[in-house]
Chain A
Amino acid sequence: MDIMNVNPTRMQMTKLKRQLQTAKRGHKMLKDKRDELMRRFIELVQENKRLREKVEAELEICNAHFVNASAVMNKKSLDSAMMSSKQQTGIEIGTRNIMSVDVPVFTAVSGSSDKGDIYPYGFAFTSFELDDAVEALEQLLPDMIRLAEIEKSCELMSAEIERTRRRVNSLEHVMIPRYEATIKYISMKLEENDRSSRTRLMKVKDMLLEKAHHYSEHNY
């Protein structure tokens, strides 16, 4: 593992030790965040899959109804029947915070409460196939809105999980080992300096004794 380009001093080592501690704490927290995000994401994505399967299947049925309707009605009257919608469906939007990810919350607001109001046409000139199609679609609408909400949440969360995972990995495999290696390098360097100055002192002491008394502590 490569080490940082630092001076091997005691002060630098203390500083690095402090940074290492921060990095380790951050790593633990990010790991917890990632795990929790992942748990929520898996839950959400399973619901998403179920809902999408349902919506896609029902849409197919709706489309079949419309095809039937357009088979028995002429195009012009069908188009004019669909032209004016009595109700305006909107959604109330909000956000919810899941582990620092802002995900949308959609609540449908329908313009009218009268059940018969879903048909934007009179029944005189249209086929019953069309009624089926519109009714099926109307019933599917809440699921479609829920699908949009969940699918967007999944999209946002998957991006956040990827980012968090990258951070965790970079801390775990790059930053922390680098700190540790640098600290080890500095402490070894300091010990080495210590030993070298000790032997130097011993040597000097020997030389001084030799010079003064022609006497040596060691025999070498």
Chain B
Amino acid sequence: MAKGIAVIGDGESIKGFGAVGLETFVCNVPEEAPQLLKTVTEGDSYAVIYMTEELFALTEKERERFAERAFPAVIPLPGVKGNTGAGMRRLSGFVEKAVGSDILFKN
């Protein structure tokens, strides 16, 4: 089954993704991000949803629903404002959860 790829973020950060065929959802007001994510995931038509790190941090509650499911995958990416390291922190969180202590990123 084919599904789409969505990108949610501020206009500046996600402008380019539209050009390469991803569906972009502009969200310039961070407070609207949870509602927007809900709308985007409603039809279950996207398998991957990229979000800027800034908005990703604000939508924890909405993302909980997908934590145990294979689809959709909600993935944080750095926006134009620069890399906050949130993506890597998330990864080290997985390692910590699985192993008990962070053995990959501690150096």
- Measured CB to CB, the residues of A under 8 A from B are 38, 41-42, 45-46, 48-49, 52, 55-56, 59-60, 62-63, 66-67, 78-79, 82-83, 85, 87-93, 95, 102-104, 106, 109-111, 118-120, 133-134, 137-138, 141, 144-145, 147-149, 151-152, 154-159, 161-162, 165
Min CB distance, A137 to chain B, in Å?
5
**Cβ-defined contact, B83 with A45, below 8 A:** no
Interface range on chain B (Cβ under 8 Å from partner) = 35 or more
**Cβ-defined contact, A56 with B83, below 8 A:** yes
Residue in A63, A92, A165 whose Cβ sees the most chain B Cβ within 10 Å = A63
**Cβ-defined contact, B20 with A141, below 8 A:** yes
Contact partners of B91 in chain A: CB under 8 A: 45, 48-49, 52, 151, 154
Docked complex Cα distance between A148 and B97 (Å): 19
Of B4, B15, B17, B70, the contact of A104 (CB 8 Å cutoff): B70
6 nearest A-B residue pairs (beta carbon)? A89-B21, A152-B73, A158-B98, A158-B94, A161-B98, A104-B70
| A49-B104, A93-B1, A158-B98 known; A85 vs B83 contact (CB < 8 Å) | no
> B1-41, CB under 8 A of A: which get 1 and which 0?
11111000000110111111110000000000000000000
**Cβ-defined contact, B20 with A154, below 8 A:** no
- New A-B contacts (10) at CB < 8 Å, excluding given A56-B87, A91-B48, A158-B94: A46-B104, A48-B91, A49-B88, A63-B16, A91-B4, A111-B21, A120-B19, A134-B20, A159-B97, A165-B100
